[in-house]
A and B are shown apart, each in its own frame.
Chain A
């Protein structure tokens, strides 16, 4: 690489002073154009003698490519006399620019041979190898011969591949054929000798000879025809080869002439270097602006694709020019296919694609899909298009395609579509989330969505199951987490763009409501897609259900899917989706006022303290993560617009914890019991808050909740309620009015419970009316709450209906009694476990009747816990 660059620089620096010389060349070179043959003869000797003027040097380089071919003995010295050859080399490189776009004859090791055309280089190599073989044969070293012969065959194979376009006569250099014939003779001779001499060779050598014998037999068979031709008339054969090669090189020469002329005209001052190279590019293309040229250029671009030193920007430029000139639909489709993948290639080393480049890729992809979908139904782009000559225009029902009503073109639309979609996410990941640019880019989702829907319909029409489900999945992923209003906009544009098309999966003639759409897409995927997509579809469906507030459906679906058992084996993207779904379910529970469910659902995610990573909404720096890991994690992050509001989430979680934990904490009398926390994060915060001597005015959501908790513990429910409800976050929830009202009521009730637990030891009896007044609850619900506490043995008390009071039965326990009671409880638990075990052993049902659903959640928790361990590592 570096060598290449230095060379390149060197030659370009020389270009500066040489450009003027070249201008002066034009006159003479145009003359020579017509008489290439004569010129070539002249230059066969050029390499050896010092050349005084530059014009002939330039000419020499032209000839060199062909002169090397026909004269075997003069080739090596061209590198030897560096001095005079240097400008020639530059000219050659310059030539090559034209040639490479025309014919593309370079190989991977091209870096070194900027100067020399790759073909020449290869022929040199062929000759060198033949020479080594000859030398080895003199000393009967069959091992070397065998190795070199292999090399020779490889070289020839390459040669044949690359000059496939040339005439058949040019395929077989006479040198090679001659070497073959000689070798054959030699082998026959030496094997005869070997037989006579009995023991003269060592084992390795003999082995080499034997393998050579096999190989030459095979090779002779392969090259039967040319060898015959050579044997009958070796001169004629050589002549034919030379002629064939000359045609090619004269073409090169002609191109070079024209290019030079143009460059001369263009180079009216300015940076000559840039000008030179630019012009060549243009000159090369100018040659191809015929319909046949489109295919040629495409082919050369295809071949250079993926090489180290391909100029991707240039490729894209050429392709977009080609797109302008492409005439027939077939050409257009081919060029579109090439340009979209070229644009995607462009960004392989970048963090994300440049926005405008992505936009054009999308526009082109859309154009391609629209073409295939509506105007040009007779063309199909498929992965298994079979063999076809990609240099020929193909029209259905004509020429080669006589029997086919539809023309198949090789390419994978779904891969392009998925890459474009993935790039979209990447651009979003790499854009400032709060800038206007982000919104700008997000706006492109509309055409992207439209393209996906179009592609889906196209695949559906073609009856391709796999691409259809992948496209549907992409579509679903664009829709599932969006609020209804946004989905409506997307759907409206899509259905507007697709009037007249039909789809089995979802009705596209009218815009669908978000829920119907998600349902239809998910159901389609359940039916047809492979397991992974099905899992993802299910999670998206559940997520959506939870998001729009259908808590029960979402919960039942999640439990019935049994995903919690297997999710830790899924890929990380799916695990993230699972986490998101679970969290969304927790939010849905909260919205519906199911505090207990909300708390237990969210607990797992929060007790890890790594919420951000689990939801792929941010990374945390750890000392042990390597940069690669960090990059990997960054790539997984979701774009900002898909984030779940973490502050809201935490608030919801902590508030649920507060409502559950505080009464529980108050009801426990011993420290032992208190240590068992339902929610550790909340407990920790509470302890922190307790340690603080001063409490400032609440600022963060946490402060609010902590102060509210303190207030609740002292029975000051009004303060607690006001603190909680004063948080602005609630307005983020839909229907926040109802939610906060419900929340206020729950705070009231739980405050009452906390109060009763906390102060029961200090009262003999409490008036129900007083309680109802203090907590502004109707008397009926005070009775209900206390009844429940008494019934479930939480509160040792009973109601007195006549006096309307609660009477407490206080029992004081000594330390010994306490411990004894604890022991007894544990023993009881043990016996219960034993009984359960026995039940299972005896086979009367694997679990208790109530196990069905409750266990589901429990297992979900465990599954999540395990996964957290490996989650983001």
Chain B
């Protein structure tokens, strides 16, 4: 047991995850160099999780590990029989799904189906020409679902995909979407998962049935989506940006604040990690919504607001840096945060990145506030040795993204930052410079929207945003 257990979120996250996803978290915990929990505890937990699935071989293996441990039910289920049953069921389901598959796999049909958007008509078409009933289509869903329960994620994903093309039922579709997202995550198909998240978000935000529109149901669905999407966002290459977009959109922000404040850690991490991406250029938005203008500022605000019911070293770092300007405190937090990141299932791949970016932020603030800085002191603030600190500073100056004109005075062991004295005229120019251009961009977006409306096609918003994004690029140039 170490001091970091208190920062471990696994137990907070698991209730919002699917068994199979939770399993991944637990497996990660067993692989840690410095284990947070005793191995026995973890094995027991794993076994309890797997027992509920149809992954019988795995369950059997785990059952042998935990046998005889305290608190474990001694009467083990009969795995051989279970296995037999599972196989039979698979076969039966496969058989029932076969006719549909046959029809769909016919390229001619696939072409016709792809052309039409209307599911109702698709179904009619199939019924008329290929004698497919709704029950047979639903068999796809059941088979997909069953495959998922025993770990056949790829199969599950593909069956559910086909089912989604055909099925008109809202409830089953929603369930299938969740299933497919899960399967995609577990297969590591991040692109597919990302688009699945987008679909699910549409589903949740525009509920189809009265039952799905209940605030409670929506809240829960959103909480789930937030949790599940972590898997995607921290694996997909554009994930961090997408995470910020999703998590900071009003509905999901509220969900997070009410139901899952612990997710703030990931938002903060994403904001810090995404610093370079956001600073360099406005990346085209991944999930199809607007980009966040200044994620760090917004996230800081939220962190301060939610401080009373969630705080950890990672959120604390942001608060110390931007809320209290307590550099020593921030430095201390960063030291703890390193280990916390190492332990975290989602963030452990990003530890180095995070630290780098965090240092960057600290130095940015430091340089903006100070005129002359003691290098030794500065290095200490960055958790670096004096020499490393010097190198770091040199890099910082060279990579002059800060817009800082800084020089190192080695004899005095100090960094001298000269800030051009801003004349009132310069300030004035600074404020007004972009105005005309921004207005133009607005105008452009509006006319484009008008045209799009006249043309009668959707995607008006895309046009508008495109205008803005393009504008941002030109401005940079």
Contacts and interface: CB of A to CB of B under 8 A. Distances in A.
Interface of A: 552, 556, 560, 780, 783-785, 787-788, 790-791, 798-803, 807, 809, 811, 813-814, 817, 820-821, 824-825, 827-828, 831, 834-835, 838-839, 841-853
Query: For the complex, would chain B's binding face be called helix, strand, loop or mixed by DSSP majority?
Result: helix
B2 interface: no
Contact of A850 (B298, B373, B445, B461): B298
A849 B374 contact: no
Contact of A838 (B258, B414, B442): B442
Contact of B464 (A784, A785, A842): A842
Given A834-B442, A838-B446, A825 B431 contact: yes
B201 interface: no
B290 A838 contact: no
Contacts of A556: 258
B271 to A, nearest CB: 12
Contact of B439 (A552, A807, A834): A834
Contacts of A848: 250
B428 interface: yes
B348 to A, nearest CB: 28
A828 to B, nearest CB: 6
Contacts of A853: 254, 257, 305
Nearest to A790: B369
A212 to B, nearest CB: 62
Interface in B420-452: 421-425, 427-428, 431-432, 435, 438-439, 442, 445-446, 449
Contacts of B48: none
Interface in B290-321: 290, 292, 298, 301-302, 305, 308-309
Interface string B376-390: 010000000000000
B370 A801 contact: yes
7 shortest interchain CB distances as A-B pairs: A787-B325, A849-B248, A798-B371, A817-B424, A842-B461, A824-B431, A784-B325
B175 interface: no
B31 interface: no
Contact of A791 (B249, B325, B422): B325
Contacts of B253: 849, 852
A811 B325 contact: no
28 contacts: A556-B258, A784-B326, A787-B365, A791-B368, A800-B370, A802-B373, A802-B374, A811-B422, A811-B423, A811-B424, A814-B424, A821-B431, A824-B428, A824-B435, A831-B435, A831-B442, A834-B438, A842-B461, A843-B461, A844-B289, A844-B465, A845-B250, A848-B250, A849-B250, A849-B298, A850-B298, A850-B302, A852-B253
A166 B449 CA distance: 89
Nearest to B305: A853
B374 A784 contact: no
B276 to A, nearest CB: 21
Contacts of A807: 371
Contact of B428 (A552, A820, A851): A820
Given A802-B412, A831-B438, A845-B289, A787 B424 contact: no
Interface in B370-419: 370-374, 377, 412, 414, 417, 419
A386 to B, nearest CB: 39
Nearest to A798: B371
B356 interface: no
Nearest to B248: A849
Nearest to B302: A850
A680 B302 CA distance: 29
B428 A817 contact: yes
Contacts of B324: 784, 788
A825 B305 CA distance: 28
Given A791-B368, A803-B372, A811-B423, A827 B435 contact: yes
Contact of B250 (A552, A813, A834, A847): A847
Nearest to B295: A849
Contacts of B431: 821, 824-825, 828
A563 to B, nearest CB: 16
Query: Which of the listed residues A783, A800, A844, A846 has the most CB atoms from chain B within 10 Å of its own CB?
Result: A844
A817 B412 contact: no
A76 B258 CA distance: 86
A783 B428 contact: no
Contact of B292 (A801, A803, A849): A849
Query: Which of the listed residues A791, A801, A827, A849 has the most CB atoms from chain B within 10 Å of its own CB?
Result: A849
Contact of A852 (B254, B365, B414, B446): B254
Nearest to A783: B325
B472 interface: no
A839 B290 contact: yes
B371 to A, nearest CB: 4
B424 A821 contact: yes
B424 A780 contact: no
A670 to B, nearest CB: 13
